[in-house]
Structure formats: C-alpha cells, structure tokens
Structure 1
Amino acid sequence: MRKFLAFGDVHADFDTLWAALRAASCADANGRPTPPVQAGLYQVVLIGDLVHPKNEREYSRLTGVHRFDPKNPDHLFLAAREQVKHLEQLREYQLAAPHAIHIILGNHDDAVLNTSFVLGTSGGLVHTEFDPDHGGIHLPDHLKHWMQGFPRELRVGSVQFAHVSPLPAHTHYDDLFYADRSPKRWFRDTPEYVQMAGLSFGVYGHTQIEDGILLDETHHLAMIDALHGREYLELMLNPDQPDPLISVRAVPF
C-alpha cells in the first residue's frame, strides 16, 4: 500500500505549493524530498500547469511590480526570471526522487514549450513571458528538456491522474482543444466519462474549483485545481490490485 499525494495546478504560486508539500510531509524545510518520498512510500503527483500566474494581481505578487503590465518587456522579464528561479528549485526536488515525484504536463506548460498558442484569461491578460515573439524570453534549454519529459497521464492500475479529463483528446493541446468547451465542463456535463474509460477513479485539474477540491464519489473523480484554497488530495492505493483505490480524501493545510 502506498500513499499518493496529488496537488492542483500551481500557476507560479510556488510558495503555496511548497507549503502544501511540507504540510503533506513530502518536502523538508530545505525543499528536499522527505524519507518516505525517497523510499517511494509517498508518491507525489503535480497535476500540471506549473507556469503562468492566474491574474495580474498574482503577476504583481510574483514580480514585486505594483501594477503588472503584460505588454511591458521589463515586466515580462521579471515574470520569467522569477518563474525560472522557482522551476529550478522544483526540478532539483523532482530529480532527487524521480521514482516518486511525478509532474503531469498541463496545457500552460505545453504552451511554453510550443509557442503556437498565446494563452490568456477572460479578462484579457495574456501569458507571453516565455514567448520571444511577444516580448518574452526563451525558457532555458535545461528546463525545456526537463518539461518535455513530463507525461500526459499517470496510471496506477485503474486509477488515472491527468491534467484535464479521461478523454485522450484532452491530453493534446491543439486547435481542437482550445476551440472545445468540454475541457472546462466535462466533469459537470458528462462525469460518466471516468467509468466509460474503464477507470475506477480519476484525478484531474485544469478547471479552478472555488470552494476547494471537488470530490465526486458517485462518479469516482476528483477535481483538484484548488491549491489556492489550500487543499490537496490524499489517496491510499494498493498498486498490486486491479482496483487499487483504498481511500481518498481532501486535506486542508
């Protein structure tokens, strides 16, 4: 039996991520994997979207700029620099225990690797700090290589961890993905997708859940983009069983 600790979309809120990892006994005060993680008894899963703060207020907090301007190259440089610094620390953490620390590729991570799409918010904010064609800078090569190795899903028996949903189409962030409304709505409109995919349980992010982690025990899924609400998901799994799930709960920190 192993404990899986799943953490929602980071969106450059690394301080909250590290607080959650420490609260879950997955990281020590120096940002290193704890003995249970090193031993593989604790399995850490980050559900994706490491980069791009969610709004201008969060960009200002990250950069120290009073009023962040996404069209100002100096502000974009500060946003990129601060994210690179934190990504370096997270990379060192993951590489210290790659057998036990898993990072799923989110669509924002993919957009940094492949700058074909300029992502933004409904309020008009665009994320271009890693897009040289729009005033940003290149992600350093070693970080790009690291992120290119992120899987699009993690499966433990019939339990799935993925960024968006159980649908294979939702693991490829192309024109169809961004034109489709279902990535943000599927868990409310068609939650039976989890069981239709032959899964006993699914853990997903991508859609921010305002009231904390959404744990839908009827449809066997959890939506965990709730790091901002200071919650993570704890699952007890027996990887040797076809249906490995023993228990699941949302944990405040």
Structure 2
Amino acid sequence: MPMQKFIAVGDVHADWDGLWAALKAASCVTPDGLPTPPVQAGVYQVVLIGDLVHPKSERDYERLTGLSRFNPRNPDHLFVAAREQVRELERLRAYQSAAPHAVHLILGNHDDAVLNTSYVLGTQAGLVHVEFDPEHGGVHLPEHLRGWMGEFLRELRVGRVQFAHVSPLPAHAYYDDLFYADHSAKRWFRESPEYVHMAGLSFGVYGHTQMERGILLDEEAGFAMIDALHTREYLELLIDSSQDSPIQSVRAVPF
C-alpha cells in the first residue's frame, strides 16, 4: 500500500474536544468513537504528535474540570483534572487498539513527565502540572495507562518522512536534564531549519512549540510545525512510500 493519507494532529494538551473534532473532520472516527473503514483498512493513517496530557492554562483546566477557578495546589481540584483526563485517555486507548496498525502515538515531554515525575513541568505564568504526581497532591496514572503510554513511539518514519514531537535531532526525543537545559528545542526550526535535510529526511512533522497563527508549513526546508490544535487545524499529507520524494501533497486543514 504505497499511497496513504496521513492525518497528523498537534499537541493535544487535554483539548479532547479539539482532538475528536479534528478526527471527525478528517473522516477518521465514527460516531461511536471507533476508527472509520479507511483507518481500519490502513488507507488513512492517524498520527498524534505528542503531549496528550496537561491543559496549557488555568482557563483550560477550568474548561476541562468545570471548576470556576482551578487551583493546582488543591488536591481535590487535581483529582478532578486527573479523572477527566483519564476518561479521555481510556477513550483514545480504545480507539487506537481498534486499529493499532493505523493509529500512531508519539511520546511528548508532557506525557513522559507523567511517567517520570522527577520533572515538574509548568508555564511562565506559574501554573504547574502535578495532577498525576502524588508527591505534589496529585494521583497516580492507572497502571494500565502507564503501560500503554510507555509504549508510545519516539518517532515514526515512513520512508524519508519523519514524525516526531520536537525536531529531527535524536537528542530531542529523550526528555532528561540535557533536554530541559537545551533552548534549541523551541528554536531550531527558526535558527537551524537545515536540520531536516541534514538528517537525510525529505520532510518532517513536529510539535512541541505552539504556533500562535496556526500550522507553520515550510516546504522549502521540508517541515511542518503543527502544535496548532487551538487554531483548529490539522495536517494532511499524501505519502507514496515507494518514491524517493514521497510527499505527494501536504496542507494544513481547518476544521
């Protein structure tokens, strides 16, 4: 099956309404939450680029939890935030398990931080993401979900096309002290876009850095930055893996 359509969705950050709306618009999910026939057949391939968990702002936490004012230091608030995310993670796990050959999940640094709670992630505004950290008032992610998330991919390659959370650099696929000290993880696509071609890739799809104006598509440098779910866009690629230049078309799709 050399020709396939890939539907890539940027960092979710618990925006489950946005995720399911994108998959619905792309004809990838049925009303019952299952993969559609094209996904089941492998003609459509779904790629989530990472960071399923942790809403981006207090307002997003309030939208998720229904609380009028979310307090990340209140264990009751953290419990509700964890519970709501667990419910949707279960739904996504069921969706992927129905078509594991066609639904690919990339491990983002926020996903990794749930599995490795030695890193407490937060925002410049002072929000901390600790709902899955018992040492900071949160709860453990259920063990079966930990096992599932622990199997997420560091990258997906289709011929010379790469899907990864941060960049083409192998060092950016492991979220350790060096990663969090390396500011290039947020800037590489502006400062060193040649990294894609230097890695021997014809095209790369990445997230991690929020694109305020929507998906950034740089066809000359050969990459797309797709952390843009908040602008209600996903990326659609037609890939012919039998070709040396496998990308037949690529576009940002509003929904």
Structure 2 Cα separation of the partners of residues 2 and 177 of structure 1: 33
Task: State the one-letter code of the partner of 2:115.
Answer: L
Task: State the one-letter code of the partner of 2:59.
Answer: R
Residue 150 of structure 2 corresponds to 148
Q: In the alignment, is the contact (CA less than 8 A) between 1:157 and 1:243 conserved in 2?
A: no
Deviations 1:192-248 (A, max 9, x none): 000000000000000000111000111010000001100000000012223311110
Q: In the alignment, is the contact (CA less than 8 A) between 1:159 and 1:243 conserved in 2?
A: no
Give me the identity figure in percent: 75
Residue 85 of structure 1 corresponds to 87
In the alignment, structure 1 segments of 5+ residues that lack a partner are none
Question: What RMSD in Å do the two structures reach over aligned CA positions?
Answer: 0.5
Structure 2 Cα separation of the partners of residues 237 and 44 of structure 1: 13
Structure 2 Cα separation of the partners of residues 69 and 250 of structure 1: 35
Residue 51 of structure 1 corresponds to 53
Counterpart check, 1:11 vs 2:13: yes
User: 1:122 aligns to what SS in structure 2?
Assistant: coil
User: 1:119 aligns to what SS in structure 2?
Assistant: coil
**Which of 42, 50, 62 is the aligned partner of 1:60?**
62
Structure 2 Cα separation of the partners of residues 114 and 208 of structure 1: 23
Structure 2 Cα separation of the partners of residues 175 and 93 of structure 1: 33
Task: State the one-letter code of the partner of 1:11.
Answer: H
Residue 42 of structure 2 corresponds to 40
User: 1:165 aligns to what SS in structure 2?
Assistant: coil
Residue 201 of structure 2 corresponds to 199
Structure 1 Cα separation of the partners of residues 78 and 228 of structure 2: 26
Q: In the alignment, is the contact (CA less than 8 A) between 1:105 and 1:151 conserved in 2?
A: yes
Residue 27 of structure 2 corresponds to 25
Task: State the one-letter code of the partner of 1:222.
Answer: A
Structure 2 Cα separation of the partners of residues 52 and 185 of structure 1: 22
- The offset of 1:180, in angstroms, is 1.0
Residue 241 of structure 1 corresponds to 243
Alignment of 1:205-216 (within 5 A): 205-216=207-218
Structure 2 Cα separation of the partners of residues 146 and 211 of structure 1: 33
Alignment of 1:178-197 (within 5 A): 178-197=180-199
Structure 2 Cα separation of the partners of residues 207 and 91 of structure 1: 25
Task: State the one-letter code of the partner of 1:159.
Answer: V
Structure 2 Cα separation of the partners of residues 30 and 227 of structure 1: 22
Structure 1 Cα separation of the partners of residues 174 and 59 of structure 2: 29
Structure 2 Cα separation of the partners of residues 44 and 243 of structure 1: 21
In the alignment, structure 2 segments of 5+ residues that lack a partner are none
Structure 1 Cα separation of the partners of residues 253 and 62 of structure 2: 29
Task: State the one-letter code of the partner of 1:45.
Answer: V
User: 2:237 aligns to what SS in structure 1?
Assistant: strand
Structure 2 Cα separation of the partners of residues 62 and 131 of structure 1: 18
User: 1:160 aligns to what SS in structure 2?
Assistant: strand
Structure 1 Cα separation of the partners of residues 241 and 37 of structure 2: 20
TM-score w.r.t. the length of structure 1 is 0.99
Deviations 1:61-93 (A, max 9, x none): 100110000000000000000000000000000
Residue 104 of structure 1 corresponds to 106
Residue 232 of structure 1 corresponds to 234
Structure 2 Cα separation of the partners of residues 211 and 192 of structure 1: 22
Alignment of 1:128-167 (within 5 A): 128-167=130-169
Q: In the alignment, is the contact (CA less than 8 A) between 1:12 and 1:83 conserved in 2?
A: yes
User: 2:20 aligns to what SS in structure 1?
Assistant: helix
Task: State the one-letter code of the partner of 1:160.
Answer: Q
Structure 1 Cα separation of the partners of residues 155 and 9 of structure 2: 14
User: 2:63 aligns to what SS in structure 1?
Assistant: helix
